[in-house]
Amino acid sequence: MAEATTTPAKGLAEQTRPERTRGGIQFSPRVDIFETEDELLLYAEIPGVKPDNIDLHYENGELTLNARVTPRLPTQGFLLKEYEEGDFYRAFTISETIDASRISAQAKNGVLLVHLPKVEKVKPRQINVRAD
């Protein structure tokens, strides 16, 4: 599985793209993808990221999420260290059935919610049958 995580908390992002200039560790955020009648909903866990530091980009059918963490952890004095902090990166291929012009997103409690509305023509429609 391509998105398998390597640690229980969060997995390291795969290095399948140009190298970045910012140092530090990078994680692949855990996501939920859920489809309703009108849209696809994408929930991405990006704890510790301020909403201003989220960069969501759509280009050529690819949705890219880049979230920069503001360092919080000290460098010393640890009694227990179970996770590292780092930026989040993940890219998604968006099919043509999504209306890219209407993609919207909001962040709350460290979870980014992206609304991916379906194109009008792919929405299921009830066809009325008239009796003559």
Partner 1 sequence: MRMARWQPLATSWDPFQQLQSEMNRLFDRWTQPTERSNGGAVDPAVNVWESGEAAYLEAELPGVEFKDLEVYVTGGNQLTLKGQRKPLVPEKGVWHRQERPVGTFVRVLTLPFAVDADKVDAKLENGVLLVKLPKHEAAKPRKIAVKAE
Nearest CA-CA partner of 91 in 52, 50, 58: 58
Q: Could you tell me whether strands 104-108 and 26-28 are parallel, antiparallel, or unpaired per DSSP bridges?
A: unpaired
Which of 12, 91, 100, 111 binds partner 1 (CB under 8 A)? It is 111
Given the rule CB under 8 A, which of 15-23, 55-63, 79-87, 122-130 is the region that contacts partner 1?
79-87
Under the criterion CB under 8 A, does residue 50 sit at the interface with partner 1? Answer: yes
Of 15, 36, 60, 126, the one binding partner 1 (CB under 8 A) is 36
Q: Which positions ≥6 away from 42 have C-beta within 8 Å?
A: 31, 32, 33, 63, 92, 112, 113, 114, 116
Would you count residue 62 as binding partner 1 (CB under 8 A)?
A: no
Tell me which residues touch partner 1 (CB under 8 A). 3-5, 7-10, 30-37, 40-41, 43, 45-51, 72-74, 76-83, 107, 109-111, 113
